[in-house]
Amino acid sequence: MESKRFRLDRFISGKLQIPKKQIRPMLAAGRVRVDGIIARDMDQIVDQFSHVVVDDITLQQHSAHYIMLHKPIGVVCATKDEQHTTVMELLPANSPQDLHIVGRLDLNTSGLVLLTNDGHWSRQLMSPTQKIPKQYLVTLKHPLTPAYIEAFTKGFYFEYEDITTLPAELQILGPNRALVTLYEGKYHQIKRMFGRFRNQVMALHRIAVGNIVLDENLQSGQSRPLTKAEQDYF
């Protein structure tokens, strides 16, 4: 969903179908409120979540929604799918209808999935320039060695895209288990990185995106709204 941002005079003009030149005296008279505060500046920017009232007429009152979901294996990150259950189908029936998925996981990956109707927030969270850390628990077919740590730190060259991955962090948790932190999201990146060692990824589970950590109390398939602190990453 795209973030919709308008100058206040243009927004009111469009909503009330009146010329923009009529907006200035309305503002001067204190007849316009944005988010409960009297607005005087016609250049003020409003977005799709601004609460705009002219006199006693509410022109817009939308709410931003931010949700975390514990995605099970076998569920797809899509709005519709003919073969598999989608993450949208796991949400409560009264969930907002305008949500989109932030940072998709593939069919066989479980863990944290975020959903929102705030396009600006989701673009910031997934922007490559932000380098937001994403953490995954990985179970491997074969044992790990310290050589993995060095290789992940250096990055891997992917011939198909002609790119070298950003340095990643790998912490060995057990003979076949690791915590991997990425700062980007290339196609099947973790599986391809371990593939260089001919070590098959048996299970992949995302536990965090930035400061948003998958709630331990959420069972697989469950969801909850983000807290204010989790929302306010930006």
Number of C-alpha atoms within 13 angstroms, CB side, residue 37? Answer: 7
C-beta atoms surrounding 43 within 10 Å: 8
Number of C-alpha atoms within 13 angstroms, CB side, residue 47? Answer: 12
CA dihedral in degrees (174, 185, 204, 69; nearest 10)?
120
Q: Can you tell me the distance from the alpha carbon of 140 to that of 197, in angstroms, rounded to the nearest whole number?
A: 11
* Residue position matching structure tokens 């962090």: 169
Question: How distant, in Å, are the alpha carbons of 54, 102, 205 from that of 58?
Answer: 6, 30, 44
Q: Are 178 and 144 in contact (CB under 8 A)?
A: yes
- 3 state DSSP class of 142: coil
Number of C-alpha atoms within 13 angstroms, CB side, residue 227? Answer: 7
Q: Can you tell me the distance from the alpha carbon of 126 to that of 102, in angstroms, rounded to the nearest whole number?
A: 7
**Residues with catalytic roles:** 106
Q: Can you tell me the distance from the alpha carbon of 228 to that of 115, in angstroms, rounded to the nearest whole number?
A: 15
